Structure 1
Amino acid sequence: MMTKLKVMIPLSTRAGVIKFAPVIQLMQQAPQDFEPVIVVASQQYQQLHTVLADFALTADFELAVNPAELRGRPDELSRLVHHLQTVVNAAQPALILTLGDSLATLAASLVGFYNRLPVAHVEAGLRTFDKVEPFPDEMHRQLTDTLADLYLAPTAAAKENLLFEHRTEAQIVVTGNPIVDVVKQCYQADYTSPLLTQLPPQRRLLLLTIGRVENTGLPLEGILRTMRDVVETNPDVELLCPMALDSRGFPLAQRLLANRARIHLVPLLALRDFINTAARSYLIVTDSAGTVEEASVFHRPVLLLRQNTERPEALFAQTTRVVGTDPTSLQQAVFELLHDKRAYRAMQNEDEALFGDGHAAERILAALQQHYG
């Protein structure tokens, strides 16, 4: 007989909530096998509650972190460790399930280690092998995998990274990435929204998303000016740029993009709106690794505004090209894909299972039961 597993799940980013949602929902559908303990531990407190509500989920513990009180990442890490320890004391979980590379993921892994609780890591094995790029994400995930006991790798390449680092076959399960589960659940071929009705179907849609801390100031200005110039010199193109209204970059984006013909600067889109808008786009320009995964489901070419990526599968499949933030490199890449049909088709890889087949959540739960049930 299987043991019912009480699983502590820390959530600290919007992307983390989205990726964990199908996992938590499946746990809730099997109450005889799983008892998820949802812990919100984030500066993005209200934003996370909104995303949780989209999936009809609620937090069991809320550890609001006030950014005004923090004195840098070391202070935030110590507070997260302290708060997560109080949750362990109160909830007495059997294991901790972490995801990705956030500071809360690292904190939860430390708490698991100090309490001799097993730690399972979703998205294990992602690597750039440059500890400061992206910063501090790469070091967070390497440290998390040092502390983890079960590695839920999204791809075979991630598994190879873990084996290279001397983890054993028995510790690793290739599950796919649960973001693909979410995309397949949310996509509708006949989807419509007020935003989509504003975008003329005869024009090619460029989707621009920028959210990383390093892409602010001068790098952001260069990106925005370049994309604005692309629109102005290509009358058959529309640009959509969703951005958080309270982000550092929004005032600059408003100054450079607002009230321009065929340019739409809008607040962050709801998940279903974003996925279905991305599916209708011609080209995606982004600094988000998660968007690279989402775009692969729809065979949309991606230009990545970073210096490297922990998702090399997209590079090998030629669905993603790393262009960095240099305006000249970005402009050349966009113009090539707008005007060279052969180059565009070469980036439309038809492999839907690049990052998973839509059943990652099922494999994650099966792995937890096999190892700890």
Structure 2
Amino acid sequence: MKKVLFVFGTRPEAIKMAPLIKNFSEDKHFDVKIAVTAQHREMLDQVLHFFEINVDYDLNIMKPNQSLHELTARLVSRITDDILLKEPFDFVFVQGDTTTVLATSLAAFYQKIKVIHIEAGLRSDDMYSPFPEEMNRVLTSKLTFAHFCPTKNAQQNLIKEGIKDNVFVVGNTVIDALLMGLNKINSTNEQIMFEKFKNIDFSKKIILVTCHRRENFGKPFEEICQAILSIAKQKDKTVEIVYPVHLNPNIKEYAHKWLIASNIKLISPLDYPELIWMMSKSNLILTDSGGIQEEAPSLGKPVLVLRKVTERTEGVEAGTAVLVGSNYDKICAETVKLLDNENYYSKIASASNPYGDGTTSKQIKTILKSFE
């Protein structure tokens, strides 16, 4: 039996780890332990509850106004002293590109424990965009024993950097989680969701907006809001825009200041099950989120990416997403085109999802067993 540790700290990590934890926990070949750093406390707890994940180690690491260097140092120290020195592990799983990922990988490396990197090989090739995620994932790749890439492009990124051993293309576990999550919702009662969001007119075309990344703070976010407002006014009789507004004051304050229209619904941040349900009811999505760029194609939802660059280039290449950045003209033109041109909409909505088919977790488990 191999002893494995899953470490994560944010909601996106928890979502993408959930199907892996389920698969490994159900297999007698693995002794599974779960550790959370709680970079996102409340949002993380929502996902843990939804997917019924029981935590063995909770570091609860976050403090108000914590700097990156302080967070990184505390994470390395706490992960080592409170977990890795307490019991032996054969593998430590990390997912993505957060500060938790880098700190965990470094701590595991110091203890000579094999690091398993989920969603490996993503690159924007700009060390400051996204910041600090691009550097986190580049450094993590140098510390990793087995790299599980979501796409061939991600695999090629690693090969270009001289990383060729134990590099596997398996798809993205976010698709596994999406299908698992929607199944849980449908097995309960979808009517609860409609009742919760009864102020939204679902007889109209729904545009879901999510925007919260640092690089969009300030002038870029102002331009994005101007575009959203213009679309709302132009399509006031046929479109409902739903925007779960991030709590960061750089976003919340200005969204409520600028986005005032009867068919713009500014709502509180959504729990994961609410978010994926809302995605399933939307016609198209405007987002700067990485995860949504991967999930939406499985639901047949076109995505307009509110970023200048994306490390998820496969979606753009496959035709499931269009990169519009914070450019007012591009956002307006592409949104209106998707709303008005049925052939254009159908082409994007029916494009094949390059991020997997929901079997990623099983593939990873099968490969890990071969290392025994």
TM-score, with length taken from structure 1: 0.92
Q: Aligned residue pairs: how many?
A: 364
Residues 288-325 of structure 1 show CA distances to partners (whole Å, capped at 9, x for unaligned) of 11101110101211110111111111111111111111
For the Cα contact (< 8 Å) 1:317–1:349, is it kept in 2?
A: no
After superposing the two structures, state which structure 1 stretch, 330-339 or 234-243, moved more. 330-339
Partner SS, residue 261 of structure 1: coil
RMSD: 1.9
Q: Which residue of 2 aligns with 1:176?
A: 171
For the Cα contact (< 8 Å) 1:308–1:322, is it kept in 2?
A: yes
Match of 1:167, as an amino acid? I
For the Cα contact (< 8 Å) 1:318–1:349, is it kept in 2?
A: no
Q: Which residue of 1 aligns with 2:361?
A: 361
Query: What is the deviation of 1:166?
Result: 2.2
Residues 200-234 of structure 1 show CA distances to partners (whole Å, capped at 9, x for unaligned) of 34311100001212222332222123212211111
For the Cα contact (< 8 Å) 2:3–2:30, is it kept in 1?
A: yes
Query: What is the deviation of 1:247?
Result: 5.2
Q: Which residue of 2 aligns with 1:124?
A: 120
How far, CA to CA, are the matches of 1:69 and 1:219 in structure 2?
Answer: 24
Can you give the 5+ residue segments of structure 2 that lack an aligned partner in the other structure?
A: none
How far, CA to CA, are the matches of 2:245 and 2:86 in structure 1?
Answer: 38
For the Cα contact (< 8 Å) 2:129–2:215, is it kept in 1?
A: no
How far, CA to CA, are the matches of 1:132 and 1:310 in structure 2?
Answer: 13
Partner SS, residue 126 of structure 2: coil
Partner SS, residue 65 of structure 1: coil
How far, CA to CA, are the matches of 1:257 and 1:112 in structure 2?
Answer: 46
Match of 1:48, as an amino acid? L
Q: Which residue of 2 aligns with 1:256?
A: 258
TM-score, with length taken from structure 2: 0.92
Can you give the 5+ residue segments of structure 1 that lack an aligned partner in the other structure?
A: none
How far, CA to CA, are the matches of 2:62 and 2:350 in structure 1?
Answer: 43
Partner SS, residue 309 of structure 1: coil
Aligned-residue sequence identity (percent) comes to 29
1:8 aligns with 2:5: yes
Partner SS, residue 70 of structure 2: helix
For the Cα contact (< 8 Å) 1:43–1:67, is it kept in 2?
A: no
For the Cα contact (< 8 Å) 2:320–2:352, is it kept in 1?
A: no
Q: Which residue of 1 aligns with 2:241?
A: 239
Q: Which residue of 1 aligns with 2:70?
A: 75
Query: What is the deviation of 1:47?
Result: 2.4
Match of 2:168, as an amino acid? V
Query: Kindly tell me: are residues 46 and 197 of structure 1, through their superposed partners in 2, closer, same or farther at Cα, counting changes over 3 Å?
Result: closer
After superposing the two structures, state which structure 1 stretch, 142-151 or 36-45, moved more. 36-45
Q: Which residue of 2 aligns with 1:229?
A: 230
Query: What is the deviation of 1:97?
Result: 0.7
How far, CA to CA, are the matches of 2:10 and 2:324 in structure 1?
Answer: 26
Q: Which residue of 2 aligns with 1:312?
A: 313
Q: Which residue of 2 aligns with 1:341?
A: 342
For residue 54 of structure 2, the aligned residue among 34, 39, 58 is 58
For residue 89 of structure 1, the aligned residue among 85, 88, 93 is 85
For the Cα contact (< 8 Å) 2:211–2:246, is it kept in 1?
A: no
How far, CA to CA, are the matches of 1:119 and 1:186 in structure 2?
Answer: 27
1:327 aligns with 2:323: no
1:163 aligns with 2:168: no
After superposing the two structures, state which structure 1 stretch, 264-273 or 249-258, moved more. 249-258
